[in-house]
Amino acid sequence: MSLLDRHRAVVPDWVALYYRDPIELVRGEGRHVWDADGRKYLDFFGGILTTMTAHALPEVTKAVSEQAGRMIHSSTLYLNRPMVELAERVAALSGIPDARVFFTTSGTEANDTALLLATAYRRSNQVLALRNSYHGRSFSAVSITGNRSWSPTSLSPLQTLYVHGGVRTRGPYAHLSDGEFIAACVADLEDLLGHTREVAALIAEPVQGVGGFTSGPDGLLAAFREVLDRHGILWISDEVQTGWGRTGDHFWGWQAHGAAGPPDLLTFAKGIGNGMSIGGVVASAEVMNALDANSISTFGGSPVTMAAGLANLSYLLENDLQGNARRVGGLLLERLRAIGMTVPAVREVRGRGLMIGVELVRPGTEDADPEAASAVLEAARAGGLLIGKGGGHSTSVLRIAPPLTLTVAEAEEGAAVLEQALRSL
């Protein structure tokens, strides 16, 4: 029986796998991974999935194995030096005054904790989220996920209201200028709040990840913030995909919105552990201490994951990977835009840093083309390149998010494979 058949026999149907013939990855190094048949791929998606810096980064491997050799334990009940050290660094980087950090094991759990805090602090279970958002897969996280294809139940512990602001290029506001778009979204928010009392929080991804690497214009969140402040509503910035310099110009995604920040709560996860399970939430002591009973996470912040996070963060900062994301990401964006101009199925190439989306349509129309996206994914794989896909109700945006150590040569190599794949449509 193949591994795929065995997988299907024991794993739920709704656990998504890429590719007609799914890949079993067995090894990684730098920006490359290898499958069980020994085929090598340039990894243009692992940067979001797990690997912020590089696969098998020696600094991280060493830190993990040294810590594992000394002590593998939970994060709680006893003092935990690696956790305190990473919390100190994350608190300082967050920009949030008097910050406290609570570590979890995933982005879902980080957002879940942020919702627990915000709803307790405001004594309300009403929250605002953006249309087309993705925030995770727990009961509360799917309840703030506007992207319905990732929201598998209509039941909810929260009362969620969805506002415009995530998707710029489609929908009723698509024809508006930046300023008009912001004004329309703010009017939408004000309108909702006019009919609602005591909303706890607004949660937003500065750039929507699963939704197809899309965002409102810079300054949108600052305009939202003004309204939220008037109502005492907390702002949660979900930095699970945008954090740690990926967007190039900024360390956190919210910083593209200038006067908006810092947010009241910030959540992070994915690549900071470079593959080890780290998530977390940062908030001021006042908001964080809104809970009045004990709460722990057995493994959130466990010493081995924290050792990985510390080594990974040090590498990221010491090697200015944010700057690399800006430089190499800028070149890659330019190159893909040039290719996109000559491929009729490409509607838009957009992005910031090493977070680039290529939106596909049926040529000559505005109709999303998920089959084309799947075909490009397959063709890129055949050419030795792994990419992702995402985007709203139909999955028609190619997502490119390599590890932040990507070199110019690798960017060019990947762009050439992608060009071939797009031309094969």
* Chain contacts with ligand PMP (rule: CB under 6 A): 106-108, 111, 134-136, 205, 209-210, 238, 240-241, 269-270, 279
Shortest distance (Å) from residue 338 CB to ligand PMP: 28
- Owner of token pair 């989306």: 357
Query: Within a 10 A sphere around the Cβ of 167, how many other Cβ atoms?
Result: 22
Shortest distance (Å) from residue 162 CB to ligand PMP: 15
Shortest distance (Å) from residue 358 CB to ligand PMP: 18
Tokens describing residue 416: 């050439």
Question: CA geometry: angle at 35 spanning 33 and 38, to 5°?
Answer: 100
Tokens describing residue 72: 């593998």
In terms of Cβ atoms closer than 10 Å to its own Cβ (0-12, 13-18, 19+), residue 323 is middle
Shortest distance (Å) from residue 238 CB to ligand PMP: 5
Query: Within a 10 A sphere around the Cβ of 266, how many other Cβ atoms?
Result: 29
Q: Comparing C-alpha atoms, which of 395, 32, 380 is closest to residue 213?
A: 395
Tokens describing residue 244: 């740690």
Residue nearer to ligand PMP on the CB measure, 210 or 373: 210
Shortest distance (Å) from residue 242 CB to ligand PMP: 8
Residue nearer to ligand PMP on the CB measure, 10 or 15: 15
Shortest distance (Å) from residue 354 CB to ligand PMP: 15
Closest residue to ligand PMP, Cβ-based? 107
Distance CA 48, CA 67 (A): 25
Residue nearer to ligand PMP on the CB measure, 279 or 403: 279
Residue nearer to ligand PMP on the CB measure, 53 or 343: 53
Strands (E), 315-393: 346-352, 355-360, 385-386, 388-390
Residue 43, SS3?
strand
Shortest distance (Å) from residue 45 CB to ligand PMP: 12
Query: Within a 10 A sphere around the Cβ of 185, how many other Cβ atoms?
Result: 24
Q: Comparing C-alpha atoms, which of 115, 161, 118, 122 is closest to residue 138?
A: 115
Half-sphere exposure of 380 (CA within 13 A, CB side): 27
Residue nearer to ligand PMP on the CB measure, 82 or 107: 107
Shortest distance (Å) from residue 268 CB to ligand PMP: 9
Shortest distance (Å) from residue 180 CB to ligand PMP: 27
Half-sphere exposure of 194 (CA within 13 A, CB side): 6
Residue nearer to ligand PMP on the CB measure, 131 or 135: 135
Tokens describing residue 23: 């890949």
Residue nearer to ligand PMP on the CB measure, 136 or 248: 136
CB 42, CB 384: distance < 8 Å: yes
Residue nearer to ligand PMP on the CB measure, 306 or 346: 306
Residue nearer to ligand PMP on the CB measure, 145 or 396: 145
- CA-to-CA dists, residue 235 to 96, 118, 324, 414, angstroms: 12, 9, 29, 37
